[in-house]
């Protein structure tokens, strides 16, 4: 499919005739929950190219919201899934042992930051990894309260949604949420209410937790955990200032609070390291993973915690923590093990660093455009924040901008007023240059 630059390619403006049939049927019968930003009906994908049912080919810079880490249909991942499917499609991982389950747990535990031994609980998705962490944190500390962040996204199940505060519409109509969840401002320097105007970050947003929240509302000895995305994803790909995550770590240590890193989106190489916590040099007590682990094959989520916490939690008479029928599905485990092996055998980190360098090279020019407020970048993640939505300006711009992208054969996901470029790691230099040319042209053309 990718021979001799046969992409991007529009043969019939989407949605073409075959896509229209599928779009119409799905719009008639499927839940209306799905936003469906693009009227594309996908037929297949290979590395960074997706093809729709009418034969149009697009370069993908969404990576299935950071899922397609090594690219669509990596042959080694596909082969591993096919082989596993030929053996047994399912067996309850809570009840039986099998090799891929054991291998995956070992691999993830050894990859995790910090020197302490880790244990791994496998589930089915990012939101389930978060649910597991909430239960584990409350149960092992015996404390009820949890601190989360404004701008955070942790999934759509009730625990994850209770911690989520990136878009009010996601919570609208679903109250009441889990009690004792307290949201505080994130380390978002560009929009910081505490020290945006100052030369350097004062970490006032962290000291506020101790000096205000803990003294006036939430006693620290009632707090089980702080849940943090090391890079806020759905909140706009916000990279916190240097020292921020260390300051949270120290705060947690002072009060016996668990630090939970939700690396569902920032993990598996996105940040330039396997986990974004490693960029900051911190060792969280619990870590939530999903998305990029398998390169696209769900169900798979993982909650990691130190052996010490696990022992405390799983003491006599308290061994049952959590579980699912599909815990550690054998196909998902096989996909994950194969996908993580690709990191070793194909120098994926070499490619990740190449993507990071190219982002860093192309972003400054975009940053100087009058439509752009701020650009942010870390590893393979690049975010271009356009003039704020509250001016009403962006809402009229957004549909035209995204139509422009589609007409120019690139898939970029709209996220509020942020355009983010989040390619699979299989993206080539030319392909990444192409998207930057398209974004530049879009900003020049559309006012």
Ligand X SMILES: Cc1ncc(COP(=O)(O)O)c(C=O)c1O
Chain residues in the site for ligand X (CB under 6 A): 65, 125-127, 130, 153-155, 229, 233-234, 262, 264-265, 290
CB of 233 to ligand X, least distance (A): 4
At residue 415, the 3 state secondary structure works out as strand
Q: What share of the chain is helix, strand, coil (3-state, %, to 5)?
A: 40, 15, 40
CA nearest neighbour of 425 among 162, 70, 52: 70
Nearer to ligand X, 64 or 71 (CB): 64
At residue 306, the 3 state secondary structure works out as strand
Nearer to ligand X, 125 or 306 (CB): 125
CB of 68 to ligand X, least distance (A): 13
CA nearest neighbour of 184 among 137, 223, 151, 144: 151
Q: What are the E-state strand segments in 230-282?
A: 258-262
Nearer to ligand X, 275 or 436 (CB): 275
CB of 254 to ligand X, least distance (A): 26
Distance CA 216, CA 205 (A): 16
CB of 6 to ligand X, least distance (A): 31
Nearer to ligand X, 152 or 192 (CB): 152
30's tokens:
């499927």
Work out the number of other CB atoms within 10 angstroms of the CB of residue 44.
13
> φ, ψ for residue 69 (rounded to 5)?
-65, -60
Residue with tokens 């009690």: 179
Cβ(209)–Cβ(215) under 8 Å?
A: no
CB of 310 to ligand X, least distance (A): 21
> φ, ψ for residue 72 (rounded to 5)?
-70, 130
Rg (C-alpha) for the chain, rounded Å, is 22
Cα dihedral 200, 202, 204, 206, rounded to 10, equals: 100
CB of 159 to ligand X, least distance (A): 11
CB of 20 to ligand X, least distance (A): 28
189's tokens:
């320097």
Nearer to ligand X, 290 or 431 (CB): 290
Nearer to ligand X, 155 or 240 (CB): 155
User: Nearest residue to ligand X, using CB?
Assistant: 126
Nearer to ligand X, 126 or 148 (CB): 126
Distance CA 33, CA 205 (A): 35
Distance CA 183, CA 51 (A): 41
CB of 367 to ligand X, least distance (A): 25
Nearer to ligand X, 67 or 247 (CB): 67
CB of 150 to ligand X, least distance (A): 14
Nearer to ligand X, 220 or 299 (CB): 299
356's tokens:
């990071």
């Amino acid at each position: 499919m990718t021979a001799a630059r046969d992409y991007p390619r529009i043969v019939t403006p989407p949605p073409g005739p075959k896509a229209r049939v599928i779009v119409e049927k799905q719009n008639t019968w499927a839940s209306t929950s799905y936003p469906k930003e693009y009227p594309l009906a996908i037929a297949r994908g290979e590395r960074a190219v997706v093809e729709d049912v009418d034969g149009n080919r697009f370069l993908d810079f969404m990576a299935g919201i950071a899922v397609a880490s090594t690219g669509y249909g990596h042959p080694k991942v596909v082969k591993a899934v096919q082989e596993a499917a030929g053996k047994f499609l399912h067996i309850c991982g809570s009840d039986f042992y099998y090799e891929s389950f054991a291998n995956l747990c070992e691999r993830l535990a050894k990859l995790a930051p910090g020197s302490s031994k880790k244990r791994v609980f496998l589930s089915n998705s990012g939101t389930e990894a978060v649910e597991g962490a909430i239960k584990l944190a409350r149960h092992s500390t015996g404390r009820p309260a949890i601190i989360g962040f404004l701008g955070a996204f942790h999934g759509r199940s009730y625990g994850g949604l209770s911690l989520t505060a990136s878009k009010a519409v996601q919570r609208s109509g679903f109250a009441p949420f889990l009690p004792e969840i307290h949201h505080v401002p994130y380390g978002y320097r560009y929009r910081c209410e505490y020290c945006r105007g100052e030369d350097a970050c004062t970490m006032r947003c962290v000291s506020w937790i101790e000096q205000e929240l803990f003294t006036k509302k939430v006693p620290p000895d009632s707090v089980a955990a702080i849940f943090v995305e090391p890079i806020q994803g759905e909140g706009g790909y916000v990279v916190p200032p240097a020292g921020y995550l260390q300051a949270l770590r120290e705060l947690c240590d002072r009060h016996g609070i668990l630090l939970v890193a939700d690396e569902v989106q920032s993990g598996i190489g996105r940040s330039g390291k396997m986990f974004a916590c490693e960029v900051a040099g911190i060792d969280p007590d619990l870590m939530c993973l999903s998305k990029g682990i398998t390169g696209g094959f769900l169900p798979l989520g993982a909650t990691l915690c130190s052996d010490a916490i696990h022992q405390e939690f799983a003491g006599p008479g308290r061994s049952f923590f959590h579980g699912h029928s599909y815990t550690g599905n054998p196909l998902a485990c096989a996909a994950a093990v194969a996908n993580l092996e690709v990191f070793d055998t194909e120098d994926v980190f070499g490619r990740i660093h190449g993507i990071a360098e190219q982002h860093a090279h192309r972003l400054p020019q975009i940053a100087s455009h009058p439509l752009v407020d701020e650009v942010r970048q870390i590893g393979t993640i690049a975010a271009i924040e356009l003039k704020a939505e509250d001016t009403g300006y962006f809402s009229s711009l957004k549909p035209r901008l995204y139509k422009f992208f589609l007409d120019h054969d690139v898939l970029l996901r709209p996220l509020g007023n942020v355009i983010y470029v989040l390619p699979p790691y299989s993206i080539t230099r030319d392909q990444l240059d192409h998207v930057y040319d398209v974004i530049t042209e879009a900003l020049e053309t559309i006012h």
